[in-house]
Amino acid sequence: MNVKIKFRERSDPLPPASSASTYTNGSGCDRVRNRPYMLLVAPVLDHRRLPLSPEDQQILRHDQDLARRVNVVRSTVPAITHVDYSARVQTVDERHGRYYRLMKKFYELTDCPVIVNTSFNLSWEPIVLNPREAYHTFMQSAMDVLVLEDFVLYKSEQPLGVTPWATIGDEVVESAAPLRVRGRILRAASRWS
- Highest-pLDDT range among 16-20, 23-27, 31-35: 16-20
Q: Provide the pLDDT for residue 190.
A: 37
Task: Please state, for a pLDDT cut of 90, what percent of the chain lies above it.
Answer: 9
Q: Name which residue leads in pLDDT, 135 or 89.
A: 135
The model's pLDDT over 152-191, given as tens digits with 9 standing for 90+, comes to 899 888 887 654 444 444 444 444 444 555 555 443 333 3
| Distance in angstroms (rounded) separating the CA atoms of residues 1 and 117 | 11
- Beta-carbon contacts of 59 under 8 Å, excluding residues fewer than 6 positions away, are 68, 69, 72
Q: Are 165 and 131 in contact (CB under 8 A)?
A: no
Domains of the chain: 7-116 (3.90.870.20), 131-192 (no CATH)
Among 29-43, 80-94, 116-130, name the one with the lowest average pLDDT. 29-43
| Position 92 pLDDT exceeds 70 | yes
**pTM to 2 decimals?**
0.63
